[in-house]
Amino acid sequence: MQVKVYNTKGEATGRTIELPDDVFGIEPHEHSVWLDVKRYLAAQRQGTHKSKERSEISGSTRKLHKQKGTGGSRKGDINNPLYRGGGRVFGPRPRNYDIQVNAKVRRLARRSALSAKAAAGKIVVVEDFTLETPQTKGFFNILKNLNVADQKPLTVLAAYDKTLYLSCRNIEKAEIAPAQDLNTYQIMRAGTIVLAESAVEKIKEFCD
């Protein structure tokens, strides 16, 4: 798939770049995408939720009154879950929410997500760029010149660039990521993907 290469001013450079069909031109496999997105979101859960059950509540274990002869119901101690301040029945316990998905399926999911974006015309390739100092306005102007500032852009770089990362992080709904850290959830969540020219080869390397 041939796409135009733009500069940071939003002008066509007159050059094109080949997006490999085995990464950007396959038939999307929806189930793999669903599995990988589910895996990613599950991994974001801390799983540290915890409530105290009856045996863990601090309180007297004295029986409140005798078993029979009161005309009322039978009662144990004050930690009974039926009482205010008592323990919780079958409360949440710390757990690990991680889901195992094969590496082969994760790669297929990334390729499927990228292919879906390419088929929808939501990929823009820009020549490699950087900023001398962290500058939110400078980075926003680049997105604006590319007409993607209001499209939840995801900028993909060949390698981590601290200056660009600091410039992007304060822009609402804009994300930036090196090619090696790209995941299916980021791709699907983005409105438009802005690919640095040198990132194309890196994506092929990590998605194959």
Distance CA 79, CA 7 (A): 68
Instruction: Give the β-pairing of 153-157 and 2-6.
Output: unpaired
In a domain, 40, yes or no: no
What are the tens digits of pLDDT across the range 73-109? 888 999 999 999 999 999 999 999 999 999 999 999 9
In a domain, 41, yes or no: no
pTM (2 d.p.): 0.83
Domain that holds residue 189: 2-29+102-207
**Tens of each residue's pLDDT in the chain, 208 residues:** 888 999 999 898 888 999 999 999 999 999 999 999 999 999 999 999 999 999 999 988 899 999 999 998 888 999 999 999 999 999 999 999 999 999 999 999 999 999 999 999 999 999 999 999 999 999 999 999 999 999 999 999 999 999 999 999 999 999 999 999 999 999 999 999 999 999 998 898 887 7
Clarify whether residues 122 and 25 are in a common domain: yes
Helix (H) or strand (E) holding 112: helix 103-119
Clarify whether residues 25 and 69 are in a common domain: no
Clarify whether residues 160 and 185 are in a common domain: yes
Distance CA 162, CA 157 (A): 11
Asked if 170 and 143 count as a contact pair (C-beta separation under 8 A), the reply is no
